[in-house]
Amino acid sequence: MTANVVSRQVVEILVDYNGFCLQEEDDEQVPIAYPEGRAELGTAFLVSHQSRVDVESAGHTHFSPLTVEVWDGEPPIDSSQVWEEKGEVTLASATGRLAVWVIAGPEEERIELGRAQVTWHLRMYSAGREEVARLAEFEVPEGVERYLAHFWEAE
């Protein structure tokens, strides 16, 4: 059976200090709040915590689009472009909604996964990393580093 996209959402993130996280919207479900426990820069693209996943960016401060797709099964590996990073983790969500956090605090927009009390597989891709690392030294780039996140329910 072929998996299909159930929903698609694009969120613009103001990345700061080379990263951001996706975490359960209900803060009470997240025992270690971002940025506590964040991995040392340059060590991992994705780091999983309870009800939270940290994402390392290649640029210090910049705006990045994050495209989130929820699938009804495991999606095929995305080959729509050349991805510089790819990682997979699992993430539990009590509410079915994720908040995007940066060092400065939570972003306004929420990611809607559609189902509560679910553990999700997350496969995330990133492109434009080399370019954003170069540009972020001189300016606050927009749309250079891009992310694609595929979510589907864990078995």
Fold classified for 5-153: Substrate Binding Domain Of DNAk; Chain A, domain 1 (2.60.34)
Q: Taking the mean position of all CA atoms in its chain, how far away is CA 125?
A: 9
The label of the residue with tokens 């595929």 reads 150
- pLDDT at residue 69 tops 80: yes
Q: What is the mean pLDDT of residues 98-118?
A: 95
- pLDDT at residue 41 tops 80: no
Residue 32 has which token pair?
A: 């270690």
Read off the pLDDT of residues 74-98 as tens digits, 9 standing for 90 and up. Answer: 999 999 999 999 999 999 999 999 9
**What is the pLDDT, as a whole number, of residue 155?**
77
Percent of the chain clearing pLDDT 70 (strictly above): 100
Percent of the chain clearing pLDDT 90 (strictly above): 93
CA atoms within 13 A on the CB side of 136: 24
Q: What is the mean pLDDT of residues 9-28?
A: 95
What pTM did the predictor assign? 0.95
